[in-house]
Amino acid sequence: MRVEINVPDSLGEIRLEQYQKFVKLYDGEVTEEFMSLKMLEIFCGVKLNEAYQMRFKDVDGVVKIISDVLNEKPQLIRRFKMDGVEYGFIPNLDDMSFGEYIDLDTYLGDWQNIHKAMAVLYRPIKSKHGERYNIVDYEIIDSEIMRKMPLDVVLGSVLFFYRLGMDLSKAMIHYLEEQEESRIVQYLNSEANGVGINQYTHSLKAILDDLRISLN
């Protein structure tokens, strides 16, 4: 069967809401074959009955392209546009309100609610001067809008906090006694060996399941 599909070739072409649907599949027992078909449905808009009729090598090729895209490790993106509105990353994390911090800490590790964390981190820019900008107050943000965010922005911010946490952990080692230092280093190394973004983002999901940030 001949099926014309649009395959995303970058994280910026994938919306957060699509990735949320994909990650949710891991909550149940699914086969690799079923996951492949769901990747075509979620990211390419191919209906399951149409995907079943596609040639195996075509499905395999598309799945590989999408998997490579999902394995990208984007840097923090401070500004982006969505539906004609420019959003900016919160300019100063130290100035976060207690409510913002609580929501960020609560939702950043929960994929099905991570759009609420994104509403803390990214808000419409109300004024700017060169590279400097101000964003609107958090209280007036509708977090559901953030489900449409490009995935590279979402993952870039999540990895930013993960890397920040690792950097802080490494810095703390210098204040420990030798025996304690050795134990912590061993722990960090064992953790680091399992956090790369590998096949179908299994490892990234594990990071996010455990992620709870602390800015203190």
The pTM of this model reads 0.75
Dump pLDDT digits (tens) for 75-87: 999 999 999 999 9
Dump pLDDT digits (tens) for 144-177: 999 999 999 999 999 888 877 765 555 555 544 4
Dump pLDDT digits (tens) for 86-110: 999 999 888 888 888 888 888 888 8
| pLDDT for residue 3 | 67
**Confidence band of 7 (pLDDT split at 50, 70, 90):** very high
Work out the average pLDDT over 126-148. 89
Measured torsion, CA atoms of residues 50, 52, 56, 57, in degrees rounded to the nearest 10: 20
Q: Cβ neighbours of residue 75 under 8 Å, at least 6 residues apart?
A: 156, 159, 160
